[in-house]
Amino acid sequence: MRDNELIRCEGVWKVYNEGRPYEVRALEDVSLRIQRGSFTLFSGPSGSGKTTLMCIIGTIHRPSRGGVYLNGKDISGFSDAALSRIRRERIGFVFQNFNLIPKLSAWENTAAPIIPLCVTERERRQRALQLLNRLGLMERAHHRPEELSGGEQQRVAIARALINDPEIIILDEPTSNIDVENISLLIGILEDLRAKGKTILASSHDESMLKRADLIFELRRGHLTGIRTP
Amino acid sequence: MKNALLPFIKHINLLYTATGNILRHKLRSMVVVLCLIAVLFPFISSVAVLEGVKAQSVISVDEGADIYVTMDLYGKNGVIPIETAGEIKKIEGVVRAVPRVIGRTYIEGRLAVLSGISDDEKPPSLNFIKGSPPGSGEVVIGKALADELKLNIGSSLSIGVRIFAIVDHRPYILKKVYRISGIFDSRSGIWTSRLVMMRMDDLIAMFEMEGFVTDIAVYIRPGSEVSVTEALQRMNPYFRIQTKGLVKSYIERGFNMRGGIFLILYTVAFALAVPAILVSSGFGLSDRKKEIGILKASGWQTHEVMEMVFFENLMLAIAGASAAFILSFIWVRLLNGFFIAQIFIAEAGSMPPFPVPSRFMPLPFILSFFFALILTIVGGMYSTWKTAIVPPAEALR
């Protein structure tokens, strides 16, 4: 392991319906390294495997073959409970479609990850409201997702990802469902997080995002086809 | 205080969230509770009526004689000479020996119980008569019979006594006509609903059994049952002697058999209800699946998801069982067991004309709660567990 290396993928494969006629190879032999505190971008056309790779790194999916190393430890064979612990303590994931719980308000969605912790309801609410305030959503704290715009929903999803103060933040296509104004707001948030030493992984085609990344991994049809800097 | 609660805060949070989920998913919660009520309400109501009837039967046996003596007639109860009562009275330990006449007949196609009362023995049911006790040539009849035959005080009642001829395969029945002097009112209980009570000598005459009665009720001093029974056996080896304990065991066995048959039928219904609850608690399953995926993706452990869903099911089970219990109580006590009572009381009909006896015991309620919990757990927990153990990305797909 190199000194500052946080994540390493070695020969990662993800095959859906393996051995069947309709087998899909989402990832094929992908190997990469991500430095702590960096802003890494995954680029590539739709269906290139970006989301699958980020889900595997984010431990919400398991690779079919290969190893995923976090701080030098191979986590690909970890139990469900151990992976949940990693997600709770170290990773915040922002989905492309935000995946907010429709019946919960913005603050309740934000605080959902810490419900099973020894945190009182008052403290939970306080932490969620602080985050929403930081992301400019204080006035929307008691609104349900259906009452929020796309950009606001995304910021709620970011707040939820940050509630446990994780060291890794993964954002799947964060610029695809929001307008230009919200993209610059998002970039501001990401730069702020990066300044605090967080490791950020995102997939995007947006130029303003590409410009700010430390490293860009290019994927095509499940293969890692290139690594470049902006 | 806060520190003491700290280990429990996580569980309190999950309970709180589960409560919120029940309230947020109103339709799903209501469907599950309604399904539970549909399954548990007949069970609780029926058991309450069964226990009530059983208890009333046992009480009536307890309040009755200690020993009943008849003659053995080819292994069946046969009539006994009326003067035997006088001889039995002389046995050491016997307090009273009361001759009784009891029989059954059909009055316009309806089964009725005929009972003769002697001057020595005034049954407590006589306190619940509208009208007056029967005199010679008079009867007091049960409310159910009076309602069905549209009879009132002063009406005439024709009772078929026996077939006196058969012509062309058609029986000709000898009938006797009595005046109705009174009607048992609704407080008199289930045993009088189809009772026809008359003077004992009238009933003896009707049954054409002069000098005989159907049985002799023997009341004894406490602790003398064995000696009196032995004395009776010595007096006449053809006596059929039935003690209170024996009668009680017959009654309990009869009710337990009815209860057993009901439970078998109920178990079948219960088995059919399981898939119904499975479907109803899977109501909105895709939303639930997504929610579980989101929670798991944000770091929830599988056991934490399961605990939250368990709390949801626990509360739904408590709500369903409690609602079923309250509805059963209203149905049996306030609506007098409308429709349900006839399962256990043949005379009741769909609208019982007498107060349906019932007993709401804690055990059926506890059982109902566990039934409800099993149903909701089978319905809700399994699907949750299946969703929670797959990688979150798959649950979210």
3-class DSSP state for residue B309? helix
Tell me which amino acid residue B93 is.
G
A133 vs chain B: nearest CA distance in angstroms?
A: 21
Instruction: Kindly determine whether residue A99 and residue B290, on different chains, have CB atoms separated by under 8 Å.
Output: yes
Task: At B235, list the tokens.
Answer: 């007096």
Distance between CA atoms of residues B338 and A85, nearest Å: 57
Nearest-Cα distance to chain A for B396, in Å, is: 8
Residue B1 is encoded by which pair of tokens?
A: 């205080």
Confidence at residue A14, expressed as pLDDT on a 0 to 100 scale: 95
Mean pLDDT of B182-198: 76
CA proximity to A92, closest of A201, A175, A205: A201
pLDDT digits (tens, 9 = 90+) for B282-293: 556 677 889 999
Please state, in angstroms and rounded to a whole number, the distance separating the CA atoms of residues B61 and B74.
26
Helix (H) or strand (E) holding A134: helix A121-134
Nearest residue on chain B to A83, alpha-carbon basis: B299
B352 contacts: CB under 8 Å, gap ≥ 6: B190, B193, B336, B337, B338, B341, B342, B345
Q: pLDDT tens across A92-140, in order?
A: 999 999 999 999 999 999 999 999 998 889 999 999 999 999 888 999 9
Q: Cβ contact (<8 Å) for A87 and B290?
A: no
User: Cβ A160–B301 below 8 Å, yes or no?
Assistant: no
- Contact status, residue A216 vs residue A227, Cβ threshold 8 Å: yes
Rounded Cα gap, residues B248 and B64, in angstroms: 11
Predicted complex ipTM: 0.93
C-beta neighbour count of A76 within 10 angstroms: 19
Rounded Cα distance, B97 and B241, in Å: 13
Calculate how close chain B gets to A210, using CA atoms only, in Å: 26
pLDDT tens digits along A137-188: 999 999 999 999 988 999 999 999 999 999 999 999 888 877 788 788 888 8
Helix segments in B124-169, DSSP class H: 143-149
Q: Which residues contact B265 (CB under 8 A, 6 or more apart)?
A: none
The whole-number average pLDDT for the span B151-163 is 85
pLDDT at B282: 58
Check CB contact under 8 Å for A116 and B300. Answer: yes
Which chain B positions have a beta carbon within 8 Å of A95's beta carbon?
Answer: 297, 396
With 0-12 / 13-18 / 19 or more C-beta atoms within 10 angstroms meaning exposed / middle / buried, residue B202 is buried
- The pLDDT value given to residue A111: 96
Q: Do B301 and A84 touch (CB under 8 A)?
A: yes
> Across residues B116-133, what is the average pLDDT?
74
- Residues A136 and B51: their CA atoms lie apart, in Å, by 65
Tokens 């059926």 label which residue?
B364
Q: Are A181 and A151 in contact (CB under 8 A)?
A: yes
Best mutation target among A53, A95, A104, A118 (most B Cβ atoms within 10 Å) is: A118
As a whole number of angstroms, the distance between CA B330 and CA B182 comes to 32
Angle between helix A150-162 and helix A121-134 axes, rounded to 10 deg: 130
Q: Which pLDDT band, with edges at 50, 70 and 90, does A1 fall under?
A: very low
**Amino acid (1-letter code) at residue B144:** A
Categorize the per-residue pLDDT at B325 as very low, low, confident or very high, splitting at 50, 70 and 90.
Answer: very high
Distance of CA B351 to the CA centre of its chain: 15
Q: For residue A2, is pLDDT > 60?
A: no
Considering CB atoms only, which of B293, B389, B396 is closest to A80?
B389
Helices (H) and strands (E) in chain A, counts: 7, 10
Q: Which residues of B touch A55 (CB under 8 A)?
A: 393
Q: For B33-36, which contacts have Cβ atoms below 8 Å and span 24 or more sequence positions?
A: B33/B316, B33/B319, B33/B320, B33/B323, B35/B273, B35/B276, B35/B277, B35/B280, B35/B281, B35/B320, B35/B375, B36/B277, B36/B316, B36/B317, B36/B319, B36/B320, B36/B321, B36/B323, B36/B324, B36/B372, B36/B375, B36/B376
Check CB contact under 8 Å for B9 and A118.
yes
Say which of A60, A121, A164 has its CB closest to residue B297. A60
Phi, psi of B172 (to 5 degrees): -105, 125
